[in-house]
Amino acid sequence: MKNNQLTYHNQIVPYSRDELVAKLKNALTDSRFQHVLRVEQTAMDLAERNGVDVEMASIGGLVHDYAKQRPDKDFIEAIKTYHLDPELLNYGNAIWHGVVGWLFVKTELQITDIDILNAVRYHTVGHQFMTPLEQIVYMADYIEPGRNFPGVDEARKITFDNLQAGVAYQTKQTLSYLVAHNKPVFPQTIVTYNSWVPGSGIE
């Protein structure tokens, strides 16, 4: 199904897809908004293949980067207001827009579905336990058609063959990249690695 042909029926958000799309368009630069639409479509394709609700996949894909363009001060304030782990203050937007950003999705977009909120929360760092929807948003963000990095075609093939192998592949690549470039590793990323990569059977 094409994303622009989808009508929401399940009352997961208290408004239509068009209204949700308008909220995202308003919150994001055009290039990021286009990325979000591609993630939505890729998430819907993966949902159809994996027996996951396409409406949930659409919403998860659309909202995953909702907080990406917020100023740092919004995240720092939220970390303090919600008494989140102060260790978070040592990181930045790349981690915050998921790990903290889900709180803005909940309060500002009136989305209370825990599966969607966790899909936003874990889309950058993963989690030891991820539901099929969370796996789908994590992978759709990585392999949407606008992505262009060495290995992306292999990542797409693996993911469309086997969603969980895709999660293992991305997790391994991300950790390898961070280590190779002397970048800090958010502790949750290591937890995700230990849960998904050893024994996964990927190369």
Q: By the criterion CB under 5 A, which residues form the site for Fe ion?
A: 65, 141
Tokens 């659309």 -> residue:
62
Q: How far is the CB of 100 from Fe ion (least distance, A)?
A: 12
14 vs 92, beta carbon nearer Fe ion: 92
CA angle (175 as vertex; 70, 42 as ends), nearest 5: 60
40 vs 65, beta carbon nearer Fe ion: 65
43 vs 163, beta carbon nearer Fe ion: 43
Tokens 């790349």 -> residue:
94
13 vs 62, beta carbon nearer Fe ion: 62
14 vs 149, beta carbon nearer Fe ion: 149
Q: How far is the CB of 85 from Fe ion (least distance, A)?
A: 19
Q: Which two tokens stand for residue 137?
A: 């948003």
Q: How far is the CB of 97 from Fe ion (least distance, A)?
A: 6
Q: DSSP for 141-170, please give it.
A: HHHSTT---TTHHHHHHHHHH-HHHHHHHH
65 vs 134, beta carbon nearer Fe ion: 65
Contact call for residues 93 and 72 (beta carbons, < 8 A): yes
Q: How far is the CB of 11 from Fe ion (least distance, A)?
A: 26
Tokens 């190779």 -> residue:
180
Q: How far is the CB of 63 from Fe ion (least distance, A)?
A: 10
Contact call for residues 163 and 50 (beta carbons, < 8 A): yes
Query: Which of 48, 30, 38, 31 shows the shortest CA–CA distance to 141?
Result: 38
Q: How far is the CB of 32 from Fe ion (least distance, A)?
A: 8
- Cα distance between residue 190 and residue 41, in whole Å: 29
Query: Which of 144, 174, 178 shows the shortest CA–CA distance to 159?
Result: 144
Residue 31 CB-density burial (10 A; 0-12 exposed, 13-18 middle, 19+ buried): exposed
